[in-house]
Amino acid sequence: MEEAREHPALAELQAGNRRFLARRPALPKAHAPQVAVLACADARVDPNRIFDAEPGALFVVRTAGNVATEHALESLRFAAGLGVEAVVVLGHTDCGAVKDALGERPALPSTARLIRENLKEAKDPTAAARAHAVATASRLERALGVPAFAALYRTESGEVEWL
């Protein structure tokens, strides 16, 4: 295994960590987030930045296509046990996993199957992302016993549309 400190792809991460350490805010003493967010793993979709959340405010779970996989659901159950007051399913425009699910031969077959279960007739990627977020939020509310809300992050503007 290559040494991490010598890998060029990690140089910006290392520099970023040094900048972070210089301005690191204090963390809460206890792990007691207010809201859990199921978001897409897309690197452009960072719930802590999108919602300008303080450290410790959000319990974030990320999967391709903000899919409530078995592991994601387990993590969200853990968050519910911590006392989160709500769950937000954060879909987004231009989602590669949703586009993949709309295709004939998805590269992410298990993810595509879970997304397709939620689409009904939606064929447009943005409409599909909305339908998927709404259906997932509804499912999570029943599974977790915590209010769940669906939202769509618009990657082009940064705005969050509540569904």
Q: What ranges do the domains of the chain cover?
A: 26-162
CA–CA dist 112, 135 (Å, integer): 15
- Given the candidates 3.50.50.60, 3.40.1050.10, 3.40.50.300, 3.30.230.70, the CATH classification of the domain at 26-162 is 3.40.1050.10
- The pTM score is 0.90
Q: What amino acid is encoded at 77 in this protein?
A: R
Q: Which pLDDT does position 3 carry in this prediction?
A: 59
Q: Would you state the pLDDT for residue 28?
A: 81
Full pLDDT tens readout for the chain, 163 residues: 455 667 888 988 899 999 989 988 888 888 889 999 999 999 999 999 999 999 899 999 999 999 999 999 999 999 999 999 999 999 999 999 999 999 999 999 999 999 999 887 778 999 999 999 999 999 999 999 999 999 999 999 999 999 9
* Contact status, residue 57 vs residue 34, Cβ threshold 8 Å: yes
Which pLDDT score, from 0 to 100, does residue 29 have?
Answer: 85
